[in-house]
C-alpha cells in the first residue's frame, strides 16, 4: 500500500497550512515548500501549530497525537508524520 502523499495531497497540505495559519497576506508572499520551516512562518506560535496539526488530522484522516508537536520543523516533517500514521493504520488492519 502506497502511503506517501500524491502531488495533489501535497498541494492540499500546503494550502491547508496557508489557510490555517492565515498566510494569505503580504507578510508571507512566498510559496510553501517542503523545506519551509513551519515555526518561522509569520505569526506562528505553539497554539497555531497545535491548531494546524489538528486540521491536518481532520483533513488527512490521520492520528498524529501530541508527540508530533516537537517533531515538526519543516513541512516535509508534517508529510512524514502523515505517511507514518497511514503506515501504522495499514499495519494494524492487516
Residue 63 CB burial class (10 angstroms; 0-12, 13-18, ≥19): exposed
CA distances from 55 to 12, 22, 78, 84, 94 (A): 12, 13, 12, 17, 27
**Residue range 23-60, pLDDT digits in tens:** 876 555 568 888 999 999 988 999 999 999 999 999 99
Query: Do the Cβ atoms of 60 and 41 come closer than 8 Å?
Result: no
Is the overall model pTM greater than 0.75, yes or no? yes
pLDDT at residue 92 tops 60: yes
Count of positions (residues) in the chain = 94
| CA 71 remoteness from chain centre | 11
Query: What domains are there in the chain, each with its CATH number?
Result: 7-93 (1.10.1200.10)
Q: Which tops the pLDDT comparison, 27 or 73?
A: 73
Amino acid at each position: 500500500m502506497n502511503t506517501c502523499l500524491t502531488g495533489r495531497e501535497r498541494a492540499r497540505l500546503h494550502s491547508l497550512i496557508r489557510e490555517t495559519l492565515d498566510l494569505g497576506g503580504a507578510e508571507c508572499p512566498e510559496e510553501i515548500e517542503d523545506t519551509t520551516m513551519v515555526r518561522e512562518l509569520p505569526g506562528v506560535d505553539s497554539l497555531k501549530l497545535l491548531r494546524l496539526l489538528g486540521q491536518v488530522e481532520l483533513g488527512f484522516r490521520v492520528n498524529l497525537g501530541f508527540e508530533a508537536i516537537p517533531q515538526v520543523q519543516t513541512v516535509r516533517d508534517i508529510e512524514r508524520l502523515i505517511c507514518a500514521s497511514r503506515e501504522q493504520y495499514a499495519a494494524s488492519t492487516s
